[in-house]
Amino acid sequence: MRILGIETSCDETGLAVYDTERGLLSHRLYSQTKLHDAYGGVVPELASRDHVLRLLPLTDEVLQEAALTRRDLDGIAYTEGPGLIGALLTGATLAKTLAWTLDIPALGVHHLEGHLLAPLLETPAPAFPFAALIVSGGHSLLMDVRGVGQYELLGDTLDDAAGEAFDKTAKLLGLPYPGGPALARLAESGTPGAFKFSRPMTDRPTLDFSFSGLKTQVLLAIKAQGEDRSRDADIARGFEDAVVDTLVWKCRRALEQTARSRLVVAGGVGANLRLRERLRALPNIEVYFPRPMFCTDNGAMIALAGALRLTAGQREDAVIRATPRRELASLSPPV
């Protein structure tokens, strides 16, 4: 089955073609970062309008790269939610319209299921069951995963998600949006231990996360420096180490609690090199990451998640759906 994947939940237009026999045939990503840069965050209306401009040219490009025409497609997968309603609607509308004209099925995919299953694009792919850490701009989740659509929530964000904490802290340090990669780069030249921030909620058994207090600690540290910005890199390093330590601690606990020996890490913060290094060092645990470009939003993960459900026979009606808020643990297995 050849599936076109469409991702438009936020500020990235992602397209991909996934073949259930040959694997990923092509993928393209257009990032709107520059468009939103001046505003310090994503402007939903601008995001939707830009998706409209990019979707069809990118669809043509991925088909061309895969040496296919629209008629060769067997199904279309699109991000149904969670995400920005206007942005979601652009992808959902294209998917349903194209599917209607081609007389093939279109299926809405949960954005976080896309992230969660993205490591299956890699070789070796993780086998079910596994524990999963999903750390993106909007979510920090620990899940126990027994199969496609068999997800048990172990821990959740109580306030700022890990990526959001990176973005907000980066803003405090005067770094451009999105702040995660910029902050990680600045932290490279910082001295570990020069600033010691707390490891939130590691003093109790819960697997929930809370990162908003950390941001306040960074703000106080910045203010204490006055006009002197020479210690920004040390502050960035102190913050990154605090987030990474906390995530690693919670993963260890989740693995113990579920008795799983495999850990899957996905979502934008999964691209963080220090996090990857620290998780790889966990004893007796196999850790699986998508390649860094598939940690952040992309069409390949949506094509893959859609392919797994479409090949199992899951279908939906022709109604155009976009669901801004959706719990991952509410999903069911295909069909």
- Judged by the rule CB under 6 A, the positions of this chain that interact with ligand KG4 are 115, 136-138, 163-164, 166-167, 178-181, 184, 267-269, 271-272, 296-297
Among 13, 26, 136, 217, binds Zn ion (CB under 5 A): 136
Partner that binds at residue 289, options Zn ion, ligand KG4, none, CB closer than 5 to 8 Å by kind: none
Partner that binds at residue 138, options ligand KG4, Zn ion, none, CB closer than 5 to 8 Å by kind: ligand KG4
Q: Which is nearer to ligand KG4, 184 or 207 (CB)?
A: 184
Distance CA 174, CA 172 (A): 5
DSSP string, 242-305: HHHHHHHHHHHHHHHHHT-SEEEEESGGGG-HHHHHHHHTSTT-EEE---HHHHSS-HHHHHHH
Q: Which is nearer to Zn ion, 87 or 183 (CB)?
A: 87
Q: Which stretch binds Zn ion (CB under 5 A): 93-101, 128-136, 178-186, 275-283?
A: 128-136
Q: Which stretch binds Zn ion (CB under 5 A): 19-27, 99-107, 146-154, 292-300?
A: 292-300
Using rule CB under 5 A, residue 50 touches Zn ion = no
Contact map string, positions 78 to 117, toward Zn ion, x by CB under 5 A: ----------------------------------------
Q: Which is nearer to Zn ion, 136 or 272 (CB)?
A: 136
Tokens of 281: 């060092």
Partner that binds at residue 179, options Zn ion, ligand KG4, none, CB closer than 5 to 8 Å by kind: ligand KG4
CB of 73 to ligand KG4, least distance (A): 25
Strand pairing class (12-19; 23-31): antiparallel
Q: Which is nearer to ligand KG4, 2 or 199 (CB)?
A: 199
283 burial type by CB count under 10 A (0-12 exposed, 13-18 middle, 19+ buried): exposed
Q: Which is nearer to ligand KG4, 86 or 137 (CB)?
A: 137
Radius of gyration of the chain (CA): 20
Are residues 199 and 242 in contact, defined by beta-carbon separation less than 8 angstroms?
yes
Distance CA 146, CA 129 (A): 4
CB of 318 to ligand KG4, least distance (A): 27
Q: How many residues does the chain have?
A: 335
Neighbours of 324 (CB within 10 A): 14
CB of 133 to ligand KG4, least distance (A): 12
Distance CA 248, CA 259 (A): 16
Q: Which is nearer to ligand KG4, 138 or 155 (CB)?
A: 138
Strand pairing class (140-147; 130-135): antiparallel
Using rule CB under 5 A, residue 157 touches Zn ion = no
161-200 residues in contact with Zn ion (CB under 5 A) are none
The closest alpha carbon to 88, from 4, 8, 5, 6, belongs to 8
CB of 271 to Zn ion, least distance (A): 11
Q: Which is nearer to ligand KG4, 64 or 174 (CB)?
A: 174
CB of 116 to ligand KG4, least distance (A): 11
Strand pairing class (140-147; 150-155): antiparallel
User: What contacts 95, CB < 8 A, 6 or more positions away?
Assistant: 4, 6, 76, 77, 78, 106
Using rule CB under 5 A, residue 297 touches Zn ion = yes
Partner that binds at residue 108, options ligand KG4, Zn ion, none, CB closer than 5 to 8 Å by kind: none
Instruction: From residue 107, give the alpha-carbon distance in Å to each of 10, 84, 294.
Output: 19, 18, 21
Partner that binds at residue 232, options ligand KG4, Zn ion, none, CB closer than 5 to 8 Å by kind: none
Q: Using CB under 5 A, list all residues that contact Zn ion.
A: 136, 297
